[in-house]
Chain A
Amino acid sequence: QQQVKQSPQSLIVQKGGISIINCAYENTAFDYFPWYQQFPGKGPALLIAIRPDVSEKKEGRFTISFNKSAKQFSLHIMDSQPGDSATYFCAASMWGQNFVFGPGTRLSVLP
């Protein structure tokens, strides 16, 4: 119930393409869904986050789509750039506690 599943494990995209990473959860008490970006040797950085009262949130080239009934959410990176190559983690929490990360997706954007 506390688990967050994430797919794919790795993703290769051409420059300018769309990167899509999917996550799924079981616990309906989760109320906060952030995405983190992590470069090698660095700590995770908050990229974008959504709460279950909205179905989509967009910030620049990054969009979260949220499907409450399916208990799924996804990250779309438009016009992917080589600088976006990193590991992406989805996460979920309940009222700020019980913070759970997905296993991560390694994104490589080819020039």
Chain B
Amino acid sequence: DTEVTQTPKHLVMGMTNKKSLKCEQHMGHRAMYWYKQKAKKPPELMFVYSYEKLSINESVPSRFSPECPNSSLLNLHLHALQPEDSALYLCASSQVLSGTYNEQFFGPGTRLTVL
């Protein structure tokens, strides 16, 4: 299995809602990433987990809350988002966080719209 899966594919939420994005991989990778991608822009790194521990938080607002319950799962909890948070949210994984085997494999993304 060489796939990173993400659910849901699309999500529309109001500014007062609480929702979660889910990411799953079964490649035995121990590093997992959340990226945000706006239209016609490159992905921007948000969070990195290494061995289920948060390693990098790129100064992301607290209305985004990541969680890594086990080595295969990564969640992104959303609360009180703003319309400018509308974007494609991408999950990625790699064998390890650093070193030679750091190729990142991306999921298809969740298209989030905040009304």
Which residues of A does B touch, CB under 8 Å? 32, 34, 36, 41-46, 49, 89, 93, 95-97, 99, 101-104, 106
Which residues of B does A touch, CB under 8 Å? 4, 6, 31, 40-43, 45, 56, 90, 92, 94, 96-100, 102-109, 111
Contacting pair B99 A96 (CB below 8 A): yes
Interface SS of B by simple majority = loop
B109 touches which of A34, A43, A93 (Cβ 8 Å): A43
Residues of chain A within 8 A of B56, CB atoms compared: 97
Contacting pair B99 A95 (CB below 8 A): yes
Contacting pair A89 B42 (CB below 8 A): yes
Tell me whether A96 and B42 are in contact in the complex, defined as CB-CB below 8 angstroms, given that A41-B111, A42-B108 are known contacts: no
Considering the complex, give the chain A residue whose CB is closest to the CB of B39.
Answer: A40
**Bound Cα distance from A99 to B107, whole angstroms:** 17
Contacting pair B107 A43 (CB below 8 A): yes
Tell me whether A103 and B41 are in contact in the complex, defined as CB-CB below 8 angstroms, given that A42-B109, A95-B99, A96-B97 are known contacts: yes
**Bound Cα distance from A93 to B111, whole angstroms:** 26
Residues of chain A within 8 A of B107, CB atoms compared: 43
**Bound Cα distance from A42 to B4, whole angstroms:** 12
- Shortest CB–CB separation between residue B87 and chain A, in angstroms? 13
Residues of chain B within 8 A of A97, CB atoms compared: 56, 97-98
Residues of chain B within 8 A of A49, CB atoms compared: 103
